[in-house]
Structures are given as structure tokens and as C-alpha cells.
Amino acid sequence: MYLVLRDYWWLFAPAFLLIIFETVWMNYIMAKAAREMKWLLLEIKVQAGIEKGPQIFEHILTGLYAVRGGAIDTDFDIYLKGVVESYFSLELAGIDGRFYFFMYVPEKMKDLAEAQIYAQYPQAEIKEAEDYAKVGPTDFPDKNWDIWGAEMILDKEDAYPVRTYNQFQEKITSELIDPIAAFIEEFGKHNPGEQTWFQVLIRPVDDYWKKDAAEIVAKLIGKKIKKKTTFFTGAKKDLSDIILNLRFAPFEALEYKKEELPNLPESLMLFLSPGEKEVVEAIEKNVAKVGFETMIRWFYIGRKKVFNKAKGFFSVMGPLHQFTSQNLNMFAVDGRTKTSAYYVITEMRKNIRKRLLVNRYRRRDFYQRGFVLNLEELATLYHFPTIGVEAPQTPRVQARKSESPRELPIG
């Protein structure tokens, strides 16, 4: 291989450069297109004492899923205009001890988003708000402010689900232990000068991730699968067969060796342990619902006189730990994005990461590939608090404001 690359590198160089160009170009054109879109930040307040749980938010997400495929007509839109599939940002903010629900939406999708919320929460109050993310610096180091944060990833493949609201039921009373309460409690501990921002960017996707899940399930249950043959592996096998049969060619017809699968049962499902069966069933249940490509980005920002890195870290990582399922999946910090650095030129690297994280958050960048969460997982992660959540620091609609606008199309 080394000799081939040494002597014929010029054959591979154009393809390699084309891949680099395509990556750089697509990142540039998609970021440009996203920034040219007009966006609105909606603050959402729901009435106190409602008895609706996370599953209600699934209906809202189902309505938002309807935008899939509406922005892109041809490949021309993707590769020359940089058009990306419409997406939304579901946001939580803890500002000086108060807790807020926001939704960042394309201006052209405002009516759709409002309609889905009013359909489930007719007495909700929705209003356009100034962008809270404009507070604080965009360059670091800063003499007054500091931050700590990261983007999140899944610990395993998308097919493995995180813990969802059905697993938050109290065993004796069957009451829901609302996972959003942990965010409200932690964000409510902030003092003046401390803030935590948390965004969940979502974009509807097709069923490509379900095909990956089917392969994982097949592997877990030991199902017979014929290995896919690529061009190179197929050519290698054909060449090998020809060489081995050349000595017989003058006298006999060429015979190609047929690949035989091991003599195993069609599935080993009956032989799996209870824990292994639980994993398989969880994956199959997970892919039964539609999915959204997702990106989670957050950071804690505070004035230096009150900045507490540990407090900021646990204000998000503590609540996120609720969604951990030991034998399935969990949220993990993406080490490439966290605002920490070790060993070499640490301060400069930390400041670069801080600048990148803050600016990506403010722009709601989502032209990179995320991970997939289904409706149930997303509704567990982000929803309006249920009746049992004590949250005096959360702005609520205390009385009936108005009916939902009659002209809004409710999907």
C-alpha cells in the first residue's frame, strides 16, 4: 500500500482535495443560509396547576415534524444555496434565579409553532421576546464575565434510548416524577449575576436511523445476516477465485466458491438473558416513533465575582443524569466542545472554545450532524411543568389571558 501511495499519489490527490473542498464549502454555504433566515424568539408561559404531562408535548412535536421536506426541493438547493431542513430550538434559561421557557423559530414557522402550543395549552401566553443570549461577551478572556459549558452527545448509538417519562412513574402512587422539575430547581438556585442557558435544537429526519437500529437488533439477537459486499471486497473475491481456478481452466469450467452462512438458528432470542431481551425490546420500541436530529448545547455564564464553575456544571449535568439508563443510553459531554483544556497552551485553547460555544449558541448553529431522539425522548427532556411541580420562580399565566387566535391553523 505504501508503494502504491508513493508512486501513484497524484491519482488519489484530486479525490482527497475534492472531499476537503466539499466539506468546507457545505459548512460555509449552509451556515450562511441559516444566518440569512429571519428568526424569532418566543417566550412561553403556561397556566399554573395544569394536569398535562410530558406526553402532551409529543403532540406539539408531531405538529412540528410536519415541516420535514418543505424547505428543500432539489439538490441544487442543498449544494449551491446551502438550504437546510427547517429546524427549531427548544430552550430553557435560568436568569438571576428565574426560570424561562423559550422557543426559537424561523419567522415563517411562527404560526405553526404557536398553533401547536395553543392546541394543547389553549390558555398559554406566547409573546416575542428579546434574545436573552445577547447578554454577556462574545470574546474571551473578559474582565467581567466567565463561562463553562459544552455540547452533548449520546454515549451509544442513536438506536439505544435514554430514559423516558414512562420510567419516571412513582411505583406506589403511580404519580409522575416530573424530570423538568430538576432543571427548575437547579436554575432557581442562581444568584443575581448568574445564568444558565440550555438549548435543544431539533430537525425532523427520515428513517435512516431506524435501518441502523434494525442492524443492531439483528446483531444482538444473533440473526443470520449476509454481509454486504462492497466493490473492492467483491472485486478481491472474484480475482481470488479466478487465480485459484486458472490451473483447471483448460480442462474444466470455472467454479466459484459459494459463501455459506454458519449453521445457526434464525435467531438466538430465546437464549438471551432478561437484560438482553429488555435492551432489544427498548430499541424496537424506540424506533416505533418518528425521530428528530438533535443537538444539545448549554453553558453557565456568570460575573466573575459570583462565578462558580462547579455550581454551573451540576445545574445542567445533574438534571441530565436523570435520563441515564445504565444498560441503554445516556447524555455525555462532547469533549471536543467543552470549555476546558489541558497540558499545552491551555488558556488560549480554553478561550477559543469559549468563543466558539457562545457564538454557536447565539446563532443557534445547526448545520452539523447531531444525534437522533424520538418524540418520547424529546418530550421527556423538554416540556412544560405538570401540576405537581412547585416553581414559584417560573413565570406562569395565573389567570385566563385569551383564547388562542382563531385564525391559526391547528395541525
Cα 202 from Cα 356, distance rounded (Å): 20
What is the pLDDT confidence band of residue 401, given thresholds at 50, 70 and 90? very low
How much is the average pLDDT of 340-349? 90
pLDDT band at 13 (very low <50, low <70, confident <90, very high): confident
DSSP H or E segment with residue 89: strand 88-95
Closest Cα to residue 120, out of 176, 62, 60, 178? 60
Among candidates 217, 227, 307, which has minimal Cα distance to 260? 227
| Window from 91-105, 268-282, 392-406 with minimum mean pLDDT | 392-406
Q: Is 406 exposed, middle or buried (0-12, 13-18, 19+ CB in 10 A)?
A: exposed
Choice among 35-39, 250-254, 319-323, 339-343 with the minimum mean pLDDT: 250-254
pLDDT score recorded for residue 274: 85
Strand segments, DSSP code E, in 254-357 are: 291-303, 331-333
Tell me, what's the pLDDT at 81? 61
Give 341: exposed, middle or buried? Use CB within 10 Å, 0-12, 13-18, 19+: middle
Residue 193 vs residues 101, 135, 186, 210, 336: alpha-carbon distances, Å = 19, 11, 15, 44, 28
pLDDT of amino acid 299: 95
C-alpha cell at 410: 391547528
C-alpha 377/C-alpha 54 separation (Å) is: 10
Q: Would you state the pLDDT for residue 368? A: 79
pLDDT band at 405 (very low <50, low <70, confident <90, very high): very low
Residue 397, CB-side half-sphere exposure with 13 Å CA sphere: 20
Residue 181 to residue 319: CA distance in whole angstroms: 9
Show the cell assigned to 323: 435520563
What pLDDT does 73 receive?
A: 58
According to the model, what pLDDT value does residue 404 have? 46
Cell of 399: 389567570
CA angle, residues 363, 139, 141, in degrees to nearest 5: 145
- Beta-carbon contacts of 312 under 8 Å, excluding residues fewer than 6 positions away, are 148, 149, 194, 196, 299, 300, 301, 302
Task: Output the pLDDT for position 399.
Answer: 45
Which carries the bigger pLDDT value, residue 390 or residue 218?
218
Predicted pLDDT of residue 28: 72
The answer on pLDDT for 264 being more than 70 is: no
Confidence of residue 411 (pLDDT cuts 50, 70, 90): very low
> Among residues of the chain, what percentage have pLDDT more than 90?
55
Question: Looking at the predicted structure, is the pLDDT value of residue 284 above 80?
Answer: yes
Whole-number Å distance between alpha carbons of 107 and 116: 15
pLDDT in tens, 53-105: 899 999 999 999 998 876 665 665 666 665 667 899 999 999 999 999 999 99
- Alpha carbons 357 and 312: distance in angstroms, whole number: 15
- pLDDT at residue 53, as a whole number: 81
Instruction: For the chain, give the mean pLDDT.
Output: 82
Residue with cell 412513574: 169
Model pLDDT, residue 175: 74
Task: State the burial class of residue 245 (Cβ atoms within 10 Å of its Cβ: 0-12, 13-18, 19+).
Answer: middle
Between CA 200 and CA 103 the distance in angstroms is 10
pLDDT digits (tens, 9 = 90+) for 182-204: 999 999 999 999 999 999 999 99
Long-range CB contacts (within 8 A, 24+) of 316-319:
316/149, 316/183, 316/186, 316/196, 316/198, 318/182, 318/186, 319/179, 319/182, 319/183, 319/186
**Confidence at 153, pLDDT banded by 50, 70, 90:** very high
Q: 369 is written with which cell numbers?
A: 450532524
State how far the Cα of 309 lies from the Cα of 306, in Å rounded to an integer. 10
pLDDT for res 174: 59
- Assess contact for 369 and 293: CB atoms under 8 A: yes
The mean-pLDDT minimum among 77-86, 223-232, 375-384 falls in: 223-232
Q: How confident is the model at residue 5 (pLDDT cuts 50, 70, 90)?
A: low
C-alpha 140/C-alpha 304 separation (Å) is 13
